[in-house]
């Protein structure tokens, strides 16, 4: 039984400031260790319920935040930038389950360090009319491969967002949002224990899990922070401007739709002020 893990960092217990998740800052090494332990807790919980193989796709910032030799379960480690499927690189239909570890809420929420891929460019994303964050957008790849998303760890706002696209998902809420830069966090030991428990439950009930609930063809509507960014998004084939700051893209292939969105993200990343 194979588990694909996409690991971010902002959803780690105690994290409430960009300096804690930015390489080179004084607190980064401490919080990357907490992230590693939360990833390992998810692996350990899954192992206890019968999972046998793991691929961890490091999906935060430059995507080189974990220590490969310290990963539990002899997990494979996919790291580095310029991955065609970005946070979901490495997933295919040979996997049985997807875990999101240390995820955060969308830009339009009060989740700690909320953003949707690029906070300097993107104000909001809707999938078939529902506001989604990275958990919902990334679910398109899981849907394309027919793999259920069964666990998300992070704050309470993020957990609620994930449920909108993946009904029945198991959640490990390691902190409660107070504002975009404040949270009430569990002690790291308690957070890991909760993640182990919820990961084990996700695998134990896998027989009843289903791929994300997204009707096809699916539409992503992206609201940008200014009109220039919306116009530049239309440079990507299949993207249509439907408002001053809104661009839309529709496809019956969820992976192709996801790749189109990622191309827009990469285009706007360098030109956003």
CA distance 249 to 257: 7
Among residues 60, 82, 104, 115, the one annotated as catalytic is: 115
Identify the bridge partners of residue 146 per DSSP, sorted by sequence position.
none
Q: Would the CA dihedral through 6, 100, 8, 195 be positive or negative?
A: negative
d(CA 29, CA 173): 23
Mark whether 115 is an active-site residue. Answer: yes
CB 106 within 8 A of CB 133: yes
Torsional sign, CA 218, 256, 83, 88: positive
DSSP H helices in 56-133: none
Exposure string over 197-221, b if 16+ CB within 10 A, otherwise e = ebbbbbbeebeebebbebeeebebb
Which residues are bridge partners to 183 per DSSP?
177
Active site residues: 115
């Amino acid at each position: 039984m194979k588990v694909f893990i996409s690991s971010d960092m902002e959803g780690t217990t105690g994290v409430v400031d960009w300096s804690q998740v930015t390489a080179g800052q004084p607190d980064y090494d401490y919080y990357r260790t907490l992230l590693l332990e939360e990833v390992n807790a998810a692996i350990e919980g899954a192992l206890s319920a019968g999972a046998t193989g793991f691929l961890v796709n490091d999906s935060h910032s430059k995507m080189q935040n974990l220590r490969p030799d310290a990963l539990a379960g002899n997990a494979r480690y996919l790291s580095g930038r310029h991955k065609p499927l970005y946070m979901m690189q490495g997933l295919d239909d040979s996997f049985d389950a997807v875990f999101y570890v240390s995820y955060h809420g969308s830009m339009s929420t009060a989740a700690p360090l909320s953003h949707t891929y690029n906070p300097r460019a993107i104000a909001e994303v809707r999938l078939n009319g529902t506001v989604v964050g990275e958990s919902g957008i990334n679910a398109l790849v899981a849907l394309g491969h027919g793999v259920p998303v069964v666990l998300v760890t992070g704050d309470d706002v993020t957990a609620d967002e994930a449920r909108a696209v993946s009904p029945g998902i198991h959640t490990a809420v390691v902190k409660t949002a107070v504002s975009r830069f404040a949270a009430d966090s569990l002690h790291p030991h308690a957070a890991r224990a909760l993640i182990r428990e919820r990961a084990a439950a996700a695998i134990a009930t896998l027989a009843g899990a289903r791929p994300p609930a997204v009707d096809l063809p699916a539409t992503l509507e992206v609201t940008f922070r200014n009109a220039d960014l919306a116009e530049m998004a239309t440079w990507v084939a299949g993207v249509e401007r439907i408002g001053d700051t809104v661009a839309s893209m529709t496809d019956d292939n969820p992976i192709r739709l996801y790749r189109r969105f990622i191309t827009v993200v990469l285009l706007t990343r360098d030109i956003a002020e």
